[in-house]
Structure 1
Amino acid sequence: MGEKRVVPQSLKSVLEWDAVITEKLVKYVDHKYGPLAKYKTFMKGLEYSCHGLPWLLGTAVFIFFIMDLSCRQFLVNIFIGLIVDVIIVAVVKAITRRRRPVANKEKEMFASVSVDKFSFPSGHATRAVMLSILFPMQLDLFLPLSVVLMMWGGAVCASRVLLHRHHLLDVVGGTIIGILEALFLSYMWLSPQSAQGLVNFFLDETQAGANYDV
């Protein structure tokens, strides 16, 4: 049996303060703008729109079906970013092991895994912030579309607190991590040739495996 983790009193105080502030914030929003239940469908839509599984699967499919080199380059880099994000969030959650808010209903969470019972950082926040920065930065998007993406990222982050999925500091931490991920990925951005080479490597491996099976 491993020893029970001892949380330093200073950190425990911060976490307790965060839980109290989060609860007060949700109650204030609920009182100010009406029952949050009437916005639940919209917030659940935001949750689905930034879930890691559809993003990973969708990006992987498009990589192999889109032949344009520049589009494929972008998709390969985004896919790498999504993988990096999943790894970072999983590792940090496993280390911190902070529980989700008491009011959270885990059975409502779509395609959750064991590590998702932990709350810090918010994976939706890291992913939403990373994507809302990378898309405008790498695609040189029209300004209004960039603003829409930033608003989507912010709305996803806010919904994590309002749905009781995360405490406030979970989202703040996720936002910081998402920004750092976007900066790191921009620095390490693969060229069209490197991205295509990576795709060719996996295609060749897949083809070799298929020939071997035959």
Structure 2
Amino acid sequence: MDKILKQDELWTKNLVTFVLKHIPYKKIHFYSKCLEISCNGIAWLSCWIAFIWVFNWESYYELQLNVLFGLILDIIIIAVLKAICRRRRPSVTTDMYTLGPDQFSFPSGHASRAIFLLMFFVVLHPVHALLRMPIVSWALSVCLSRILLSRHYILDVVGGMAVGVFEALVITLFWISQSTAANIINYVTNDYLPDGGEV
């Protein structure tokens, strides 16, 4: 295992060095930071809950709750795996605030989240064809940016991508139907009267 990790560190260093020879560091850093923010777990979770609250339309309930389930599942799985594996992040990571399990590197939470969202909006609940290529490009760019920002090693990102695929499979197995989603959201938002009638 030590040999594999050392080789992973070497491959990561060589990849970053190669890219920086062809693209200025400031440009790479700026775009990578934007991608990092765009796939932040807390931002996605809070914005998605706000999306459910603001766009309280029954036709969206199935989509909204299944994505929310996936985002929560992602946070739990990544936190548990990081706590178990406890691989340290690259030593050059200095401009990132980490807390608890997030101080560890394997697997990448950004990569798992990006691939889960890609799988969801391209495979499980396909969006319009015009939106699929931007989603694929964004997700793969997020994964690559984790390496170029020196947040993760290559195997951390590959592991995160595998977790994202696994999460999509779990969501498929436990898919929340439209009627169930409507019941859950109506219950949480108190749209039922005490006597069982709807508002």
Length-normalised TM-score, structure 2:
0.90
2:13 to 7, 23, 29: 23
2:160 to 170, 174, 190: 174
Cα distance in 2 for partners of 1:193, 1:162 equals 44
Q: Show the 5 A alignment for 1:63-82.
A: 63-82=52-71
Cα distance in 1 for partners of 2:178, 2:171 equals 15
CA contact (8 A) 2:120 2:126 kept: no
Cα distance in 2 for partners of 1:21, 1:74 equals 39
- Write the deviation string for residues 39-95 of structure 1: whole angstroms up to 9, x where unpaired: 211110000000001110111112122222121221111111000000000000000
Residue of structure 2 equivalent to 1:198: 184
Cα distance in 2 for partners of 1:68, 1:149 equals 24
1:50 to 21, 39, 47: 39
Q: Show the 5 A alignment for 1:11-160.
A: 11-31=1-21, 33-105=22-94, 108-109=95-96, 112-160=98-146
The aligned amino acid for 2:36 is: E
Regions of 4+ moved over 6 Å: none
Cα distance in 2 for partners of 1:97, 1:62 equals 34
Deviation at 1:127, TM superposition (A): 0.0
Cα distance in 2 for partners of 1:35, 1:176 equals 30
The more displaced of 61-70 and 114-123 is 61-70
Deviation at 1:153, TM superposition (A): 0.4
Unaligned runs of 5+ residues in structure 2 are 195-199
Cα distance in 1 for partners of 2:112, 2:136 equals 13
Cα distance in 2 for partners of 1:60, 1:66 equals 10
CA contact (8 A) 2:116 2:167 kept: yes
> CA-atom RMSD, angstroms?
1.7
Cα distance in 2 for partners of 1:71, 1:138 equals 15
SS at match of 1:119: coil
The aligned amino acid for 2:119 is: I
Deviation at 1:202, TM superposition (A): 2.6
Cα distance in 2 for partners of 1:39, 1:29 equals 9
Unaligned runs of 5+ residues in structure 1 are 1-10, 209-214
How many residue pairs get matched? 192
Cα distance in 1 for partners of 2:59, 2:175 equals 12
